[in-house]
Structure 1
Amino acid sequence: MSSAAAATYTTIPISGIDVIFRSTQNLSASLSRCRPWPEFLATVSALDIPPSLSAASLRFRRNAAYFSLNYAMIVTACAAVSLITTPIALILLGFVLFLWLILHFFREDPLLVWGRHVSDWAVIAGLVMLSILALYITGPLRNLSIGIIVGLLIAVVHGVLRNPEGLFLDENDAVSTGLIASHSTNRSGGASFTPPV
């Protein structure tokens, strides 16, 4: 485990249940940052064909950064729809995805099992083996692949056709594109102040 990853952990060990509870809160907070669906779907006026391949690439990168959670939800939904004919596979793979989200992607604290620290590599190895086992038992690899590919195609088409003008990731992005002016600082490091006349 790297020292950078260890630095994000809390210093007080907490139980496995608390780790899962905090990971669930992190997942919920992350999902709350999803862009509104009406903004994602936009109006017909926000859709157009980019003038060049480089413009299409830039447009897709900006939209992918701005709508990343929306795209992830679309790919997940397409994968789930592709497994409708095999409900046991849908339930089992949904549970495995939930474990990946809780135990790896949104976990901030070290995982303790029966009082022993479980390394990040052990968690990843266990999740990979569990994923392979779930795919082997249920056998929906072909349907799942088709669902993921359809979801990715939807995301790419939307990312290329959706005009990103007016979409800003944060204040720094708005400053760099000139929507808002940055505050200049004086030599002492403080913000400059111009009194009203």
Structure 2
Amino acid sequence: MAGSVPPPVSATLPTQSPITATPAARAFFGRLYDGVRSGLSQRRPWLELVDRNQLAKPDSLAEATARVRKNWTYFRVNYLILLSTVLTISLVSHPVSLFVLILLLSGWLFLYLFRSEPLVLFNRTFSDREVLGIMILLTIIVVFLTSVGSLIISALMFGLAIVCAHAAFRVPEDLFLDEQESAGGFLSFLGGVPNPASVVAARV
């Protein structure tokens, strides 16, 4: 019929499913959160760490080594926070390296942990093992073959120098170490953090 208006055509746009965490990713971040929270609960008071009255020059290398061992056992969480702070400041002062690390971390999150369907690129489907191999290769290239790796190593070495200097000059006689803490080891407070190999095994 002339002059009649055709009925409107409803256009349906394809909807993208939101990115959801896989069970392995949820388990990883859940255990990571619990481990970090448990570790922070073992943090010692910062005023106790910087008490100037407890600073004294060690008489020998053996005494300095013993102080480092005792102080690390007691202040290990504070020292790890200090190392993380030095590394963060170093990365923030080098935006390019920080941006590269963010891209790498985003690749791990969205291409491996949060991916629930096979990865398809250029009409080819990549298995979980292939994606894992690609991400490991990219990580090795970024960390060891660019300035990012040297920046991270330099920051960690500088932070370790600060920690060792403080631990060598901090007299530990006023510290009370129970048997459990003395036998805990360097990273015992991270016992709740999942092993990345378990997450890899869960996906593969």
TM-score for the superposition, normalised by structure 2: 0.55
Partner of 1:24: 33
C-alpha separation in 2, matches of 1:173 and 1:33:
10
> Hey, what's the Cα distance between the residues in 1 that align with 2:178 and 2:82?
23
Q: Which structure has the greater CA radius of gyration?
A: 2
Counterparts of 2:157 and 2:144 in 1: how far apart (Å)?
A: 20
Separation in structure 2 between the aligned mates of residue 142 and residue 92 of structure 1, nearest angstrom: 13
Would the aligned equivalents of 2:142 and 2:149 in 1 still touch at CA under 8 Å? Answer: no
Q: Which runs of 5+ in 2 are unaligned?
A: 1-21, 117-127, 183-204
Q: Which runs of 5+ in 1 are unaligned?
A: 1-13, 101-110, 175-197
CA distance in 2, matches of 1:148, 1:39: 24
Inter-CA distance 94–40: structure 2 relative to 1 (3 Å threshold) = farther
Residues 146 and 23 of structure 1, relative CA distance in 2, 3 Å threshold: closer
Task: Tell me which residue corresponds to 1:170.
Answer: 178
| Counterpart Cα distance in 2 of 1:97 and 1:161 | 37
Amino acid at match of 1:23: L
State whether residues 64 and 71 of structure 1, in contact with CA within 8 Å, keep that contact through their aligned partners in structure 2.
Answer: yes
Question: Which residue number corresponds to residue 157 of structure 1?
Answer: 165
Q: C-alpha displacement at 1:98, in angstroms?
A: 11
Post-superposition CA distance 1:72-120 (Å, at most 9, x none): 22222212222223224225537878999xxxxxxxxxx9x86xxx99x
Size of the aligned set, in residue pairs, is: 146
Structure-2 residue corresponding to 1:68 = 76
Cα distance per residue 1:42-76 (max 9 Å; x no partner):
1x210001122211111111011111122222222
How does 1:41-190 map onto structure 2 within 5 Å? 41-42=50-51, 44-90=52-98, 92-93=100-101, 129=137, 131-135=139-143, 139-170=147-178
Whether the 8 Å contact between 2:57 and 2:169 is mirrored in structure 1 is yes
Q: Distance in 2 between the 1:98 and 1:34 partners?
A: 30
Contact 1:35 1:69 in 2 (8 A): yes
Distance 1:92 1:81 in 2: 16
Q: How far apart, in 2, do the equivalents of 1:31 and 1:141 lie?
A: 27
Report percent identity of matched pairs: 30
Give the distance between the partners of 1:134 and 1:158, measured in 2 at CA.
Answer: 32
Structure with bigger RCO (C-alpha 8 Å, 6+ apart):
2
Structure 1 residues 140, 17: closer, same or farther in 2, change over 3 A?
closer
CA distance in 1, matches of 2:47, 2:93: 30
**CA separation of 1:158 and 1:148: change in aligned 2, threshold 3 A:** same
Quote how far apart the aligned CAs of 1:15 are. 2.0
Structure 2 Cα separation of the partners of residues 30 and 163 of structure 1: 24
